[in-house]
Structure 1
Amino acid sequence: MKAIIVDDEKHVREAVKLLVDWQHFHIDTILEAQDGEEAIALITEHRPQIIFTDMMMPVKSGPELLEWLDRHYACGKTIVISGHDDFQLLRHTVKHGGVDYILKPIDADQLHDAVEKAIEAWHREENERNRQLQSNIEMNQIRPVYWEKILSNLVTEPSAYEQSALALAQEFGMDRSMNQCRLAVISMDTMNKELKQKFEANSDLLFFSITNICNEILRGTRSGVAFRYMNTEGEILILLYGASEPLTVLREIQRGLAAALRASFDIGLSDTRPFPAGLPAAYKEAKSALRRRNLLAKDKQIYQTANTPPAVQPMLSFSDYAEQIRLAVQSGSPEQIAKAAEGWINAVRTLEIITPEQLELWWNEYHVVRNRWLVDWFGDRQPELKSLLNASSPLAIPSDDGGSLSINQWQKELTEGLTELSKHLLKHQHQDNNVIYEIAKYIQNHYHQDITLQEIANHFYLSREYISRKFKQEFKVNLSDYLSDIRVEKAKLLLLNPNLRIAQVAGMVGYDDEKYFSKVFKKMVGLSPNKYRKVNQP
């Protein structure tokens, strides 16, 4: 903490410095001033928490300093040290926020108490200031999210307008006389590469930046509001309702975004619709306009349904090339995979128009075919199959540095994905040929029988030691525990049938001794078979 002593007499300043236990109050910086004017300069620069001041000083007096502090630095805590027992001076001190009024000669205990009171008051007010600041920060963070939810809900549920009509009128000027609107959608799927990389780790900041730029322009023209659409992933909508020409406003927004972010965006625009009832239709129109745009175009544009008719072009289906690609993946040859992928891509290159609508259709075709392959190839290995099925990512338009569709990038991503799939297939085939996996299959198929390690060794013509060692290396668990896990999992299912006795369940999963079965089951599950049945009985 910092303190300043203001007095035109040096011996008084020295006395205060000697009488206050600065270390006790955690004050490590002590400033000095000979008059109020010098004090104001030091207070402005250093902002001390505690201020000691005399009342009668040249240039600028103590009362004048108190008045200045009250207007410009009210958070500082002032202790007056004066040689004048004057009621008017005391009254002036209290009126302008002084903590205490001490008469000279200075009493050490009185000074100590005054400093303690001043510091307590400063800490109390500082905590309140920090609490208020944090509250304001939180409110400023919540406020945009609140309006995003309100406006997003309005697009899907126009009937919700009545609940928010007054607030919308106060915040955005959407009064009840407003009966028409248009809706625009900013496309985020064809951003340039530089912008994607810049905001890759913080997409929220990107959305915040774009909506801020849009709203700065919209506020200037009083023509609408931009917001993040909360009902889908990664969309910014612009609700246009002012008198300004929508296309003019949107072009200005495109220029503003290009200047601030060095990136251009396609924008889809709806027809004029009634407000708020027409908002769902307006959203569909704007989205439809974007879905019909040509991704091969280099310049970002504003698309409207009326001037963006469905593209008419030769039919091209991924399914026509699927068999050749499947055989290449099964071959395990990167060269064959690359050649098969190139055959499909070369057919795509003949097209003059590729729309997001068409791209999505091909993506769906590819993943239907791919998932069918996975079931055929990995159907008997469910965990691996599930992992590969879940690896299917959402459609992301492969783009060049400028954000336009890049067929070269598409070819690269497709080839890499097929090559990775081929590696999984080869690994799977290798595992199927591995004797340890054959033993695991044997256990899975014969768990209900009296299987012993010696019996398995005899069946596969291998030593017991070799099987134990290799099995533990491959599956990270002992063969006996692997068998017990399977039996217990099967038993859990059978116990759900109330018509089966515990002894019957034990026999069905390979245990002749009901008591031993119960002991093993309780050790692994934590409940006895009977208790497990009661807890999980439908």
Structure 2
Amino acid sequence: MMQLLIVDDEQIEREGMKFILQKSFPSLEVLEARNGKMAIEIAKTIKPDLILMDIKMPGISGLEALERIMEFSTDIKFIMVTAYDTFDYMRKAIKLGASDYLLKPSKAADIVETVGKVLKEIVVDKRSRAASKRQETVIQKTRSIIEADLVTQLLFEHVHEVNVDLLIDMLEIDRNHEVFVMNVLVPDSSDHPYPLIKEKVSELGNCLVGALSGNQLPIIVFRDKNVSFRFQATSFAKKIITVKQHHEALGWFIGIGNVYSELNQVKKSYQESLVAAMEYLSPAKYRFYAEIEIVEEDFFDLRLTTLKKDIVDQIKLGQWEAIRTEVLSLVQFFEQQGASLVYSQQRILEVLWVVSRVLNDLGIEAKSPLFAFQTIDYRQLRMETGQLLDLLKQKHIHYYQQLEADNVQQIKQYIQAHSHEEISLETLSVEMGLSPIYISKLFKEKMGINYIDFLTECRIEKAKKLMQDPRRSIKEIAIEVGYHEPNYFSKVFKKMVHVSPKEYQNAIHGK
């Protein structure tokens, strides 16, 4: 992770710059310093990759800070920030070694462009400085993170165009290079296979390895035109499969998508690799998408697109019967069309994987579901599909049960800590970020009482503890626990404890 230090004596300037940079470069760590002296201290201890330095600051100026930092660290890049009337200072900053400058005020686009350009220069410089083995290791680790981030953004829907372009440039990738995707289906294992797969693939080179999502590992491979596509893909697959010797479990399989002429088309190859990976029950350990039987693709793609559109809301609302109806209707369609069981099982599995990915996007950990073996008839396919849906449903139910339990606990803790204050449903709503109706319903269902009764219990228990001090008056205690009217407090206390406050206080002190 690269580090950038913003140095400016005005807090609003620092916060504005930080917001723009974090939005445009999510993987960048942004630090702050309010003067030149603090910037020098941070540069000595942390050594950020890039410093955005305001020139005019009280005390040590930006130019003086730049000069002193350059004395002990020539690797740090500087972008100076200056107003129009200090342009002469900017010339001196360039002579001292600043990479670029920004004028105050600057547009967000200009800031992103200037910082992005210098960040690319930093990557180039780091590569050139990687003379030692330790430095090379750091570069390789950084590259792995960049690779995984780039693959995720290229293959999935949450794409940030500016960030993707920056990552592509940092990795010096030709956007017009032919590419295809291999999707590795790996088993559950305490001994994580990712490092071994990464090592094997790196031996062949010319590819980007994504992050392990559930039990799927996507790899973008750049075409080697010196050999055939099939030979290149098969060589990759065989190399990866050798890792299987250490992980004898159900699920090892590699789906291979078709070749596309440009990097921006790689998502289609990924979708094809998913379909090909659904052949995991076959004796072979890898399969090309081109070998898969295609039946009623247009109809299926339309149904899948509709399902993807509706599935998020259906899962959030817990409408699992609607999901089950939609998925099982697809099974019925394939049966009516006379599709082979192998093909039908593959396409239904694709739908189930969509459901598991939606769950993961919602923060619910769910592995990609797998059929244990090849089905023998449509009746069995329907039954096993229903069972896999039930497993996904249970993941969803367990997650929200735990979430509700956590919400109740947080509400209880807030009421206990603030029982002496005026607490309404609206207050709880603002503090918890939940709707008043939901809080009321949740509290009643999980606690068996409403929040007012629980608040009253908290106040009375607190009053009991305060009564252990014989010097405290009933009026004083009533006000401290949240009751402004002592008479009303006495009435509530007697209703809860069955004796008046004074009688209770006398009893615990032996009177």
Same fold (TM over 0.5): no
TM-score normalised by the shorter chain: which range applies? 0.3 to 0.5
TM-score by length of 1: 0.34
TM-score by length of 2: 0.35
Between structure 1 and structure 2, the one with the greater Rg is 1
